[in-house]
Structure 1
Amino acid sequence: MAEQARTASPAGRSRRLDGEREQAILRAAYELLGETGYQGLRVDAVAARAQASKATLYRHWPTKAELVTDAVRTCKAAEAPLPDTGSFRGDLRAWFGDIAMMIGSEEGPLLAGLFMALNSDPELAAQLRQMRDSKVPFAETICARAAARGELRPGYDAGLIDEIVPALVFMRRFALGEPLDEPFLDHLVDDIVLPLLTREPCE
């Protein structure tokens, strides 16, 4: 009897939602996130839309941050593949074009709202940071290829791309209301990113 109890307990703890039910809940959370933003998202509203109980949601996602992170991970459109145009400028321009397309889609405001919520929700920030860190580092990969082709000197800082580009793109689109058009993307590459990455290293 004791052995039976020991084997039954882990099975109970590891019991998971079936795939269809989990997808319905995460899709409901993602849709409501786009409609209400992170701050306005209510777990009971997710449960109602997915026709699930609040107890079910809290059992599988103890916090709103965990639910939202799983929803974004599962429902967000797949990122475009890493561009390989044969040149550093071409790779940057193609990648930034993909970013602009994503920001201009219905996912743009949703992601912008999430970034705004990071300042007031440390748990959400930690969850999204883990998700980001698990992705292929596009900037590092593109810069490494450029260095191998002799387009970048040793000592370049690929991290500058991630420090600068998202901030400029979000500022232009959501704060200034300006389009992420071809002239802006060319300016971003030719006047900002390329000069920073190809400058002479400081002594």
Structure 2
Amino acid sequence: MTETATVRRSRITPEREAELYTAVLDLLREVGYDALTMDAVAARTRSSKATLYRQWGGKAELVAKAMRFSKPGGFADVDTGSLRGDLHALVGRADDCVIEQNSALMRGLFMVVHTNPELLQAFREFLIDPEMAEFRRMVQRAVDRGEVPADSPAIEYVVHMMLGAFVTRTLLDELPPTQEFALSYIDAVILPALGVRTH
């Protein structure tokens, strides 16, 4: 077999990749990160462990990329012409059920991250850093348009505010995060903090 044929055979189609990520997310909801094994993923997806390790290196990278996959769409194609429009468009990509599922998964994984350096590194590399960069580009566009003052001290805390709202919603209010909550929070807290008029 030629080297080209070997490379071609090892490539996973986007459909198969989506199937694998969905299975990983299902297993995470069922057993949690610590009990999740590559053996279980292989069995659930009818894959070989060798294929999983070749494509993702290990459990931490696979889980981080599955979490990235779980977010409906990225930031790159969101450009409505206003920061409020962009933030509302991002929230609108997921219904309340998806928002709650993703938030519950993230809460569980945040607990593990504190004691698992490998998972923390994978989260930073494949989930946190890419999303932070995309978010900063979105805010920078608002600065370039003159919506947000370039010297606004709140710029550095936008991601913290967004993430904090989702993480603490259940803890403080005993309610799941919803689209309505997120949109209201954006208008009442984030945009005013940045000096953006909402009316």
Q: Distance in 1 between matches of 2:145 and 2:109?
A: 37
Give the alignment partner of residue 145 of structure 1, picking from 135, 141, 145.
141
The question of whether the paired residues in 1 share the 8 Å contact of 2:79 and 2:86 is answered with: yes
Q: What number of residue pairs does the alignment pair up?
A: 190
In the TM superposition, what whole-angstrom CA distance separates every residue of 1:91-126 from its partner, at most 9, and x where no partner exists? Answer: 444444547747535333223322332112111111
Give the alignment partner of residue 110 of structure 1, picking from 97, 105, 111.
105
Aligned partner of 2:175 in structure 1 is 178
Unpaired segments of 5 or more residues in structure 2?
none
Q: Distance in 1 between matches of 2:155 and 2:89?
A: 17
Q: Distance in 2 between matches of 1:53 and 1:185?
A: 40
Aligned partner of 2:40 in structure 1 is 45
The structure-2 alpha-carbon separation of the partners of 1:182 and 1:75, relative to structure 1 and needing over 3 Å to count, comes to closer
Aligned partner of 1:167 in structure 2 is 164
Secondary structure of 2:163 counterpart: helix
Query: 1:171: how far off?
Result: 1.0
Partner amino acid for 1:197? L
Unpaired segments of 5 or more residues in structure 1?
1-7
Aligned partner of 1:19 in structure 2 is 12
Aligned partner of 2:116 in structure 1 is 121
Query: 1:41: how far off?
Result: 0.8
Q: Distance in 2 between matches of 1:180 and 1:74?
A: 20
Query: 1:147: how far off?
Result: 2.5
Give the alignment partner of residue 64 of structure 2, picking from 41, 63, 69.
69
The structure-2 alpha-carbon separation of the partners of 1:90 and 1:120, relative to structure 1 and needing over 3 Å to count, comes to same
The structure-2 alpha-carbon separation of the partners of 1:76 and 1:121, relative to structure 1 and needing over 3 Å to count, comes to same
Q: Distance in 1 between matches of 2:96 and 2:32?
A: 21
Q: Distance in 1 between matches of 2:155 and 2:9?
A: 40
Query: 1:142: how far off?
Result: 3.4
The structure-2 alpha-carbon separation of the partners of 1:100 and 1:121, relative to structure 1 and needing over 3 Å to count, comes to farther
The question of whether the paired residues in 2 share the 8 Å contact of 1:100 and 1:180 is answered with: no
User: TM (normalized to structure 1)?
Assistant: 0.69
Please identify which structure carries the higher helix content: 2
% identical aligned pairs = 32
Task: Let me know the Cα RMSD of the aligned residues.
Answer: 3.7
